[in-house]
Amino acid sequence: MEPKLVKAFEIRARVGKPSFIGQDGKAGRRQLIAITGGEIIGFALPFNGTVLPDGVDSQVVRPNGRAELSARYGVRLDDGRSFYIQNDGIRTVPPEYVDTVLSGGIAPAEVYYCVTKPEFEIYDDSLSILKDRLFIVNATRYPDSISLEYYMVEIEK
């Protein structure tokens, strides 16, 4: 039996400009990025709906350019069900982009690694698959948005 990744859904979220909190040579750069809304599009899971405003992505970009990401946001599906996501992970960049990300810039999507592991809070048993499976997320950042591809880990039998 081998694990297989199945694209479950995608979130396309609108984001604000990073709010700079502080920076030093040891801890790195702390920034907060507002998640202002967006959409969820179903693939293997029939989830279509809206990303609610007022989410946040809290980031620490370490002096070596490695970012520790922790985002929190809510989703409301078109049928009225909703769930909460806490999405934690990392983003790494090649050495030539370290100065860019430490100054608040965005490295091109084709040069970085950005993967997260979400945890879901559900309020309807019909969403239990979100608790009964493991998911990983492939994230791609753009100047004013982010694409989050949610993959469900399945076991082929």
pLDDT of residue 157: 78
Residue 117 belongs to a domain with what CATH number? 2.40.160.20
Handedness of CA 78, 79, 80, 84 (dihedral sign): negative
Q: Write the CB contacts of 120 (distance below 8 Å, at least 6 apart in sequence).
A: 83, 84, 85, 127, 130, 131
pLDDT of residue 100: 94
pLDDT digits (tens, 9 = 90+) for 21-47: 999 999 999 999 999 999 999 999 999
Residue 71's nearest CA partner among 17, 119, 23, 128 is: 119
Number of independent structural domains in the chain: 1
Task: Compute the C-alpha angle 86/115/46, nearest 5°.
Answer: 60
pLDDT of residue 147: 98
pLDDT digits (tens, 9 = 90+) for 81-90: 999 999 999 9
Q: Write the CB contacts of 5 (distance below 8 Å, at least 6 apart in sequence).
A: 136, 151, 152, 153, 154
Whether the predicted model's global pTM rises above the 0.85 cut: yes
pLDDT of residue 24: 92
pLDDT digits (tens, 9 = 90+) for 52-75: 999 999 999 999 999 999 999 999
What is the C-alpha to C-alpha distance for residues 38 and 78, in angstroms, rounded to an integer?
Answer: 13
- Which residue range(s) make up the domain with 31? 2-156
